Amino acid sequence: MRRSESGALRPQPQVVHVCLTNQPKEKRRLLELLRAFARDNQIPDKVLQAADLALEEHLTNVMNYGYADTKPHEILVRLGVVDDALQIEVE
């Protein structure tokens, strides 16, 4: 539990860990998860749109230029909310 600005306790937002492969269809799956995560954590539409665009572009670059071969590779993504800000990590 965390305290809001008013001092009331509120539940910790969930953190979602996603393991993708470097296949284009995986971007669609992740973006669907991002939308659900944003809805569940009351992320404003404007923030969701910016995150969606940035994540789509970043994953495209990783999938197209991040590997010297065409073998499957894992891409780990973490979605979370820290101090009322959406946080996305890709590794």
**Structure confidence at residue 72 (pLDDT):** 92
Tokens read off for 56: 């789509």
Handedness of CA 87, 2, 18, 49 (dihedral sign): negative
1: pLDDT confidence band, cut at 50, 70 and 90?
very low
Which pTM was predicted? 0.79
Mean pLDDT across 64-84: 92
Handedness of CA 77, 61, 87, 29 (dihedral sign): negative
